[in-house]
Structure 1
Amino acid sequence: MTEKKYVVAIDQGTTSTRCMVFDSKGLPVCSDQMEHAQIYPKPGWVEHDAMEIWSRTQDVIRGALKKGKINPEEIASIGVTNQRETTVVWEKATGKPIYNAIVWQCMRTQEFCEEWKNIPGWGQDITGCGKVKDHTGLLISPYFSGTKIKWILDHVPGSREKAAKGELLFGNIDTWVIWNITGGPNGGVHVTDVSNASRTLLMNIETLKWDEEMAKFLDVPLAMLPQIKPSSFVYGSTKKDGPFGAEIPVAGDLGDQQAALFGQACFGKGDAKNTYGTGCFMLMNIGETPTPSKNGLLTTAGYSLAEGKCTYALEGSIAITGAAVQWLRDNLRLFDDAPDSEYFARKVDDCGGIYFVPAFSGLYAPYWDMSARGAIVGLTRYIRKEHIIRATLESICYQTRDVLEAMNKDSGVELSVLKVDGGAVKNNLLMQMQADILGVTVDRPVVNETTALGAAYAAGLAVGFWKSTDELKHHWASDRQFDALMEAGKRECQYKGWKKAVEKAKGWTE
Structure 2
Amino acid sequence: MAAPPLLLALDQGTSSSRAALFDTDGRPVASASAPLEIHYPADGWVEQSPTAIWESQRLAMSRLEQAITPEQRQAVISCGITNQRETTTLWKRSDGSPCGPALVWQDGRTADLCEQWKASGLETSWRAKTGLMLDPYFSASKIRWLLDHETTASSAAAQGDLCFGTVESWLLWQLSGGTIHATDMSNASRTLLMDLERRQWIDDACAEIGLPKQALPELRPCRGDFGVIQAGLPFAGVPIQALLGDQQAATLGQLCLKPGEGKCTYGTGAFLVVNTGSSIRHSDAGLLSTLGWTDEHGTPTYCLEGSLFNAGTVVQWLRDGLGIIGSAEEVNPLAQEVENAAGVMLVPAFTGWGTPHWDPSARGLLIGITRDTRRGHIARAALEGIALSVASLVELAEQAMEQSLGELAVDGGAAASDLLLQAQADSTGLRVRRPVHLESTARGVALLAGLQAGAISDLKDLVPNRSQDSSVFEPQQTLEQRQRWRQRWNDAVSRSLHWNG
Map residues 85-164 of structure 1 onto 2, 5 A cutoff: 85-120=86-121, 122-123=122-123, 130-164=124-158
- Partners of 1:325 and 1:373 lie apart in 2 by 16
Task: Give the structure 2 partner of residue 228 of structure 1.
Answer: 219
SS in 2 for 1:170: strand
Picking from 465, 480, 492, the partner of 2:455 is 465
Unpaired runs of 5+ in structure 1? 124-129
Question: Do structure 1's residue 202 and structure 2's residue 193 form an aligned pair?
Answer: yes
SS in 1 for 2:434: strand
- Partners of 1:397 and 1:505 lie apart in 2 by 17
**Where do 4+ consecutive residues of structure 1 move more than 3 Å?**
1-4
Task: Give the structure 2 partner of residue 254 of structure 1.
Answer: 244
1:328, CA displacement in angstroms? 0.8
Task: Give the structure 2 partner of residue 269 of structure 1.
Answer: 259
Question: Do structure 1's residue 346 and structure 2's residue 347 form an aligned pair?
Answer: no
Question: Contact 1:164 / 1:223 at 8 angstroms: preserved in 2?
Answer: no
Task: Give the structure 2 partner of residue 126 of structure 1.
Answer: none
Q: For each residue in 1:64-90, what CA deviation from the matched residue of structure 2 results, as whole angstroms up to 9, or x when unmatched?
A: 122222543311100110000001111
Question: Contact 2:88 / 2:142 at 8 angstroms: preserved in 1?
Answer: yes
Question: Contact 2:281 / 2:400 at 8 angstroms: preserved in 1?
Answer: no
Map residues 10-25 of structure 1 onto 2, 5 A cutoff: 10-25=10-25
1:296, CA displacement in angstroms? 0.8
1:165, CA displacement in angstroms? 3.1
**Which residue identity is paired with 1:255?**
G
Task: Give the structure 1 partner of residue 303 of structure 2.
Answer: 313
Question: Contact 2:296 / 2:452 at 8 angstroms: preserved in 1?
Answer: no
Question: Contact 2:148 / 2:154 at 8 angstroms: preserved in 1?
Answer: yes
Task: Give the structure 2 partner of residue 298 of structure 1.
Answer: 288
**Which residue identity is paired with 1:39?**
H
SS in 1 for 2:30: strand
- Partners of 1:300 and 1:177 lie apart in 2 by 22
Map residues 53-452 of structure 1 onto 2, 5 A cutoff: 53-70=53-70, 71-120=72-121, 122-123=122-123, 130-184=124-178, 187=179, 189-244=180-235, 246-452=236-442
**Which residue identity is paired with 1:489?**
E
Deviates more, 1:472-481 or 1:482-491: 472-481
- Partners of 1:290 and 1:356 lie apart in 2 by 34
Task: Give the structure 2 partner of residue 127 of structure 1.
Answer: none
1:96, CA displacement in angstroms? 1.3
1:171, CA displacement in angstroms? 0.9
Task: Give the structure 2 partner of residue 455 of structure 1.
Answer: 445
1:307, CA displacement in angstroms? 2.7
**Which residue identity is paired with 2:86?**
E
Q: For each residue in 1:457-493, what CA deviation from the matched residue of structure 2 results, as whole angstroms up to 9, or x when unmatched?
A: 1111111011122234345334111000122222211
- Partners of 1:374 and 1:258 lie apart in 2 by 27
**Which residue identity is paired with 1:182?**
S
Picking from 489, 496, 500, the partner of 1:505 is 496
SS in 1 for 2:328: coil
Question: Contact 2:118 / 2:134 at 8 angstroms: preserved in 1?
Answer: yes
**Which residue identity is paired with 2:10?**
I
SS in 2 for 1:312: strand
Task: Give the structure 2 partner of residue 34 of structure 1.
Answer: 34
**Which residue identity is paired with 2:270?**
C
Unpaired runs of 5+ in structure 2? none
Map residues 456-495 of structure 1 onto 2, 5 A cutoff: 456-478=446-468, 479-495=470-486
1:214, CA displacement in angstroms? 1.0
- Partners of 1:362 and 1:111 lie apart in 2 by 14
1:166, CA displacement in angstroms? 2.6
- Partners of 1:73 and 1:170 lie apart in 2 by 34
Deviates more, 1:137-146 or 1:58-67: 58-67
Question: Contact 1:50 / 1:101 at 8 angstroms: preserved in 2?
Answer: yes
Question: Contact 1:443 / 1:482 at 8 angstroms: preserved in 2?
Answer: yes
**Which residue identity is paired with 2:450?**
G
1:2, CA displacement in angstroms? 6.1
SS in 1 for 2:446: helix
Deviates more, 1:60-69 or 1:379-388: 60-69
1:100, CA displacement in angstroms? 1.1
| Cα 1:158–1:440 shift into 2, 3 Å | closer
Question: Contact 2:340 / 2:377 at 8 angstroms: preserved in 1?
Answer: yes
Aligned residues: 499
- Partners of 2:159 and 2:75 lie apart in 1 by 42
- Partners of 2:475 and 2:465 lie apart in 1 by 26
SS in 1 for 2:151: coil
- Partners of 1:76 and 1:141 lie apart in 2 by 39
**Which residue identity is paired with 2:216?**
L
**Which residue identity is paired with 1:294?**
D
> Superposition RMSD on alpha carbons, in Å?
1.4
1:45, CA displacement in angstroms? 0.2
Query: What is the TM-score with the length of structure 2 in the denominator?
Result: 0.97
**Which residue identity is paired with 1:144?**
F
- Partners of 1:249 and 1:475 lie apart in 2 by 28
Question: Contact 1:232 / 1:305 at 8 angstroms: preserved in 2?
Answer: yes
Question: Contact 2:91 / 2:153 at 8 angstroms: preserved in 1?
Answer: no
Question: Contact 1:446 / 1:477 at 8 angstroms: preserved in 2?
Answer: no
Question: Contact 1:2 / 1:73 at 8 angstroms: preserved in 2?
Answer: no
Question: Contact 2:100 / 2:152 at 8 angstroms: preserved in 1?
Answer: no
Question: Contact 1:90 / 1:96 at 8 angstroms: preserved in 2?
Answer: yes
Question: Contact 2:90 / 2:153 at 8 angstroms: preserved in 1?
Answer: no
